[in-house]
Amino acid sequence: MLPLNQFRARGQALRSRCLTNIRLRRAELRDASMTTNRIRLMVADDHEVVRTGLKAILEPEDDIDVVAEAGSAQEASRMADTFDPSVVLMDVRMEGMNGIEA
């Protein structure tokens, strides 16, 4: 188990990477003249606390809609067809099929 300070540091690093990727995606959408469209985001992670945390961080953003959450890569693959997200934020290390295989 990680000490609390290391857990917080990893969480802050993850948040920073996520927001950087979202900012890059926003820039791509603006460049493509899609500024009126909101980013449809699906979060996929096998840890519920991570999904909940990412959702809490990203939902307040004006141009992001968290349209789905998945607890496995298999579930994410099925949900992607249903919810048609423009961005999928997926853990690459999950049991069964990993995020890269999905």
User: What is the tens place of the pLDDT at every residue in 8-33?
Assistant: 777 777 777 777 777 777 777 666 54
Delimit the domains of the chain by residue range: 4-90
Question: Is it the case that residue 2 has pLDDT exceeding 70?
Answer: no
> CA-CA distances (angstroms) from residue 58 to 50, 54, 62, 84?
12, 6, 9, 18
Record: fold of 4-90: Rossmann fold (3.40.50)
- 44-88 pLDDT, tens per residue? 988 899 989 999 998 888 888 999 998 888 888 888 888 889 998
